[in-house]
Structure 1
Amino acid sequence: MKAHLSLLLLLASLGACERQQVDRERLPPPEKVILEEMRSETNLAFEQLCQQFIHGLWNLFPSWALSEGYYEVAKELQVPDKSYREFVLDFAQIYERKFAALDKSQLNINSRSNLALIENFLQRLQWQYTRFKSYQWDPSIYNVSHSFALILNTDYAPLLKRLHTVSTRMLQVPEYYQAAKAAIYRPAAPQLELAIQQSTGSLEVFGEELEKTVKESQMPADAKEIFLRRMHDSRLAIQSYIHFLQNLQKKLTKSGKFRDFRIGEKLYEEKFQFDINIGMSAAELYQRAIIEKQLTHDKMTKLADQLWPKYFPSDSPPNEPLVKIEKLLNKLSQYHATKDTFKKKVEQQIPELAEFVAEKNLLSLDKEKPLVVRTTPAYMQGFAVASINAPGPYHKNANTYYNVMPIETYSDQRAESLLREYNDYILQILNIHEAIPGHYTQLVYANQSPSILKTILGNTAMIEGWAVYAERMMLDAGYGNFSPELWLMYYKWNLRTITNTILDYEVQVKGISQAEAMKLMVRDAFQQQAEAEGKWRRATLSQVQLTSYFAGFTDILALREEIKKKMGNNFNLKGFHEMFLSYGSAPIPIIRELMLADLAKQGNKFQ
């Protein structure tokens, strides 16, 4: 109740502020407020309101705040009950009115771009709680482990202080899971299965290692006793939640009354507009992906014709292009790491990629920002083979983690299938995508952006699109010495980007079956069985996110060509990349508007 009381006081103060009119006479006249550009009274009021908004945001979503490196609210764990959801809606509605009261015509271009992000966020928040209602049917969203792990594993404060913070935060864990159980109504089967898997993994965060850390710490004996009791209660709460989910799973399996994980066309289009934001509909992007798939097949056919005599000198090539491509891909896929060397190979390639980026002068890399390759924590497993956990703008120098699934623990059959998928060629492209100059690099740049809003309200299509763009950019720059083998594998990998959009739309909107989805991925996109099975599961667990790769990639390429044409001889790749990344993780249409405005001010040159 303490957390809810603080929210009540926050909303009360917001309401009071909302009733007050801005005293324009007390604000300095616009002509006197000149820094780098004109700042009107409205811009000043907007900046102040943004600060209030961010402060309120972190009080409302303390776990999100931790992921952004903001630890002032680390002791808080909001209980996701009905009253909390009402607080969230009140917050969104109040701020929507407050921002709407500003005169947009008086805002400078940077403020307008921030306002667009805020408006999209507030509208999406209301949609999430009143229309989408995933809090009812997706039990996997209820998991406290990640935020506790961040506190324990990030050296933002001395260990003793962090342990006291964890102890205080654990007080709310039993109530948190009680609220979660009360909120869940007729969940979807894939989300229920993921919740059981990840909640079981989350017990590790409150396990023997933490108990040992506490016992060996300098905490007073009574504080240790309290901590261990609260840790025990937290484990019981998670175990009770798992038991609740397992019973629910048995009941719904017997009755067959799971919620359909497919959200349908209307909700899908709405979610697409909030999440992707590229100025076209999901249906239009889907049609573009269908065309691009055929174009990519054509490019792969030409490379297959070139490579066939080298790898099959005694055999005539098949007449069917897809069969010919598949045979070559299978041949090249034999070259891969073992179960025990996969993670080591990932680690070895990172400095090689950094060296190439520096040699080709593609970007400036910050060598002081640590990147740690680790096994994906148990509470995060079950979604992707590899992923990045980056620190937020409030704690820029913390470690970035490159998570790699524990392939060494898989059965030989499953491991072999994944290792063939992530063979020696594809693994290089994966590391470009996830690390350098992909996600890791982009998120380091995002943390340097002068606009925190453009980082914390990041756009999925921009983030994923940049990582996909980085793959093509590196190969275009000569990475791999223009090897036709690497290019053939790149197009296979790029087919995954294209097929992600087709798959997601056809699963969620058109309702295709698992068998049809597997055919699309295995036959048309040449994916290994294990990879395709994992992607099917992912398409049932998420919606729209899989389209972000293709959407962002095509938009970034189009923007680069537009800027290149506009600048002529003044254009250079490094300048484009660094300017593009300087705007945080804003949607690409917003970045385009800002880039064109800044280039005009700079005389159509990169600084």
Structure 2
Amino acid sequence: MKKAALPLAIALSLLGLTACQSQPATAPAGVEITDQKLAFDQFSQNFIDALWIESPTWALYSGFHKYDGVLKVPNAATRAATMAFIEKQQAALAKFDPQSMAPATLTDYRLIENLLGEMKWDLETFNSWQWNPASYNVSGGFAQIINEDFAPLDERLRSVIARMENVPAYYAAARENIANPTIEHTQLAIMQNEGAFSVFSKELLDKAIKSGLTNDEKALFANRFNKVTMAINEHIDWLKALETELAEDGSRSFRIGEELYEQKFAFDIQAGMSAKELYQKAVNDKNRVQTEMAKITHKIWGKYIDKPIPKDDKVAIKQLIDKLSAKHVKREDFVDEVRAQIPELIDFVNKKNLVTLDPNKPLVVRETPAYMRGYAGASISAPGPYEKSGNTYYNVTPLDGMSEESAESYLREYNHWILQVLNIHEAIPGHYTQLVYSNESPSLIKSLFGNGAMVEGWAVYTERMMLEEGYGDFEPEMWLMYYKWNLRVIANTILDYSIQVKDMSEEQALDLMMNEAFQQQAEAEGKWRRATLSQVQLTSYYSGYREIYDFREEYKALKGEDFDLKAFHEEFLSYGSAPVKYIRELMLNK
């Protein structure tokens, strides 16, 4: 990977933005808009420069490596400095008039405004830095430096040396911060910090000893490495004692309640509707999808089951899905099967001319690193816009740690058909493809501060789009399983809102997922766990999907015979990871 120079990257992005601005009707207005745009471009550059100083680990994940050796200690002084940064940037942003901005610039303005608002809200109102022990884990930043080949090894190891210096103070500050935590987040923190030793391993120490570092550097590396392992072990011991105390005395509820939920939803999703309104849409969609599944079940029932179909459609659907779900890969072949399906998806997308795939942007299927496990079974780790040639990792968790019963349940959930839908979602043309395009957006703001609902919504949209274009040869079994998968997306929204706002119990949640969304028990139990550890994020899939699909249909009707699916996809993706409502405005008003 190439190390990008930040001013140059921004300068290039600004050239791209300038080229696509619509021209004002009169010269005086043109001067005003142009002057403001130039001023906002300069503000954007200064904002990103300052943000990376304020958040060096975020910079690292984004592919900007100037501050790789900096690990900030999350103490009161750091929080005060963050608040000062937020207020300074908000004051600078307030000097601009959004009413006179061109659409592309206005979108960047709104993204920065939302980011600063959420940062301030999290520090002052949400306070997750107090009650979520899982927010403290140094592993990810170190793993990013060690595993990514963006610079010579010796250079990266020197960043590791510098970064290790603050690890003991980092965990000491974390323990000072943690107050009235949830037991669920405490348990996650234990598991993920234990996973840190997959990063701080003997292999890393050996790599440093065999490197081109000087003898003094190697000695310093070993000294700090030992202090890091001691600090992590000390923190794990403290967390385990805390877990015991919480189990005996009770702990804070993981449920955040309606007021905080609506506030977080507004910042995270930016959907132009309330969380309650989205919840009601999901309930309505659940009923519609179940009706479609019933139609397919009646059509193919006799092909698989030699007995009368039950009168209760949900019972019939569940029985047929259970029958079909027995067709799945062996547990030991799970990761390899995911790896084998990627070329098939690439071939289909290319043959159908759905979107241009760049063969020079590698996708690497790997086993999920230990420090990342315990949250989701499959995920994408993508390079930032500063290192566009870097690997995108498709993290797939192997099943070797599961019991036979749990593994079978998991494999029935990710059966022959649904595993293909999962790979569409995570890889081709889902997350992997969208994030490659996002890195090529002419706006760094849109690429760096993307909207989760757009990112997740695109991945969900591609599932249906691929089947509509003939993936799976319109096999009814594939459509039945797709609807099951889509029903899970819908149920995610119902589940998350109901758990966090309506006090849904675990028993009620499992009933929804298993009997209404036809999920396997292992998947349902895993989703319950996930919904206790996060808030709002589970709604992003459905929210973004509905917005994207509805907009495509609107755009298709507008264009008529001139509509081209590939052109729609590529223009839509060209605006980075902006909220769908803003992309819609840009495409309709260009």
TM-score of the pair, normalised by structure 2: 0.94
What is the CA–CA distance in structure 2 between the aligned matches of 1:389 and 1:197, rounded to whole Å?
20
The range that moved more, 426-435 or 87-96, is 87-96
1:307: how far off?
0.8
* Residue equivalent to 1:446: 438
* Residue equivalent to 2:148: 154
* Residue equivalent to 1:274: 267
What is the CA–CA distance in structure 1 between the aligned matches of 2:518 and 2:97, rounded to whole Å?
53
Question: Taking CA–CA contacts closer than 8 Å with sequence separation of 6 or more, which of the two structures ends up with the larger relative contact order?
Answer: 2
Does structure 1 residue 119 correspond to structure 2 residue 109? no
C-alpha distance after superposition, 1:487-532 (max 9, x if no partner): 0000000010000000000000001110110000011111111100
Question: What is the correspondence of 1:552-567 to structure 2 with a 5 Å cutoff?
Answer: 552-567=544-559
1:126: how far off?
0.7
1:204: how far off?
1.8
The answer to whether the 8 A contact 1:114-1:453 is kept is: yes
Match of 1:287 among 280, 288, 298: 280
Indicate the SS of the match to 1:273.
Answer: helix
Structure 2 gaps of 5+ residues are: 1-25
1:558: how far off?
1.1
* Residue equivalent to 2:12: none
What is the CA–CA distance in structure 1 between the aligned matches of 2:582 and 2:234, rounded to whole Å?
46
What is the CA–CA distance in structure 2 between the aligned matches of 1:32 and 1:68, rounded to whole Å?
39
* Residue equivalent to 2:330: 338
* Residue equivalent to 1:77: 71
TM-score of the pair, normalised by structure 1: 0.92
* Residue equivalent to 2:43: 49
Match of 1:60 among 38, 54, 69: 54
Does structure 1 residue 593 correspond to structure 2 residue 574? no
Question: What is the correspondence of 1:24-423 to structure 2 with a 5 Å cutoff?
Answer: 40-256=34-250, 258-312=251-305, 314-423=306-415
* Residue equivalent to 2:502: 510
C-alpha distance after superposition, 1:114-134 (max 9, x if no partner): 000011111111100000000
1:596: how far off?
1.0
The answer to whether the 8 A contact 1:198-1:379 is kept is: yes
* Residue equivalent to 1:572: 564
What is the CA–CA distance in structure 2 between the aligned matches of 1:103 and 1:124, rounded to whole Å?
21
C-alpha distance after superposition, 1:124-157 (max 9, x if no partner): 1110000000000001111111110010111111
C-alpha distance after superposition, 1:186-233 (max 9, x if no partner): 111111110000000012211111011112212222211110110111
What is the CA–CA distance in structure 2 between the aligned matches of 1:393 and 1:345, rounded to whole Å?
30
Indicate the SS of the match to 1:340.
Answer: helix
* Residue equivalent to 1:547: 539
* Residue equivalent to 1:496: 488
1:32 and 1:166, CA in 2 relative to 1: closer, same or farther beyond 3 A?
farther
The answer to whether the 8 A contact 1:40-1:106 is kept is: no
| Percent of aligned pairs sharing the same letter | 51
C-alpha distance after superposition, 1:330-364 (max 9, x if no partner): 11111111111010110010010011011111100
* Residue equivalent to 1:11: none
Does structure 1 residue 486 correspond to structure 2 residue 481? no
C-alpha distance after superposition, 1:62-101 (max 9, x if no partner): 1111111010111111111011111111111111111111
Q: Which amino acid aligns with 1:263?
A: I
1:408: how far off?
2.4
* Residue equivalent to 1:27: none
1:597: how far off?
1.8
What is the CA–CA distance in structure 2 between the aligned matches of 1:68 and 1:219, rounded to whole Å?
26
1:38: how far off?
8.5
What is the CA–CA distance in structure 1 between the aligned matches of 2:126 and 2:201, rounded to whole Å?
35
1:106: how far off?
3.2
What is the CA–CA distance in structure 2 between the aligned matches of 1:585 and 1:338, rounded to whole Å?
36
The range that moved more, 430-439 or 402-411, is 402-411
1:409: how far off?
2.7
Does structure 1 residue 519 correspond to structure 2 residue 511? yes
The answer to whether the 8 A contact 2:334-2:398 is kept is: no
What is the CA–CA distance in structure 2 between the aligned matches of 1:542 and 1:174, rounded to whole Å?
27
The answer to whether the 8 A contact 1:43-1:106 is kept is: no
Indicate the SS of the match to 1:408.
Answer: coil
The answer to whether the 8 A contact 2:342-2:428 is kept is: yes
Indicate the SS of the match to 1:51.
Answer: helix
1:411: how far off?
1.4
Q: Segments of 4+ in structure 1 off by > 3 A?
A: 30-34
* Residue equivalent to 1:584: 576
What is the CA–CA distance in structure 2 between the aligned matches of 1:558 and 1:204, rounded to whole Å?
44
Indicate the SS of the match to 2:357.
Answer: coil
CA RMSD, 1 decimal: 1.3
Q: Which amino acid aligns with 1:269?
A: E
Q: Which amino acid aligns with 2:575?
A: Y
Does structure 1 residue 535 correspond to structure 2 residue 535? no
Aligned residues: 565
Q: Which amino acid aligns with 1:576?
A: F
What is the CA–CA distance in structure 2 between the aligned matches of 1:347 and 1:204, rounded to whole Å?
23
Q: Which amino acid aligns with 2:363?
A: L
Indicate the SS of the match to 2:81.
Answer: helix
The answer to whether the 8 A contact 1:418-1:528 is kept is: yes
The answer to whether the 8 A contact 1:521-1:527 is kept is: yes
What is the CA–CA distance in structure 1 between the aligned matches of 2:28 and 2:156, rounded to whole Å?
46
1:567: how far off?
1.1
1:462: how far off?
0.2
1:405: how far off?
1.0
1:241: how far off?
1.0
The answer to whether the 8 A contact 1:286-1:505 is kept is: yes
What is the CA–CA distance in structure 2 between the aligned matches of 1:549 and 1:203, rounded to whole Å?
32
1:468: how far off?
0.2
What is the CA–CA distance in structure 2 between the aligned matches of 1:348 and 1:252, rounded to whole Å?
45
Indicate the SS of the match to 2:331.
Answer: coil
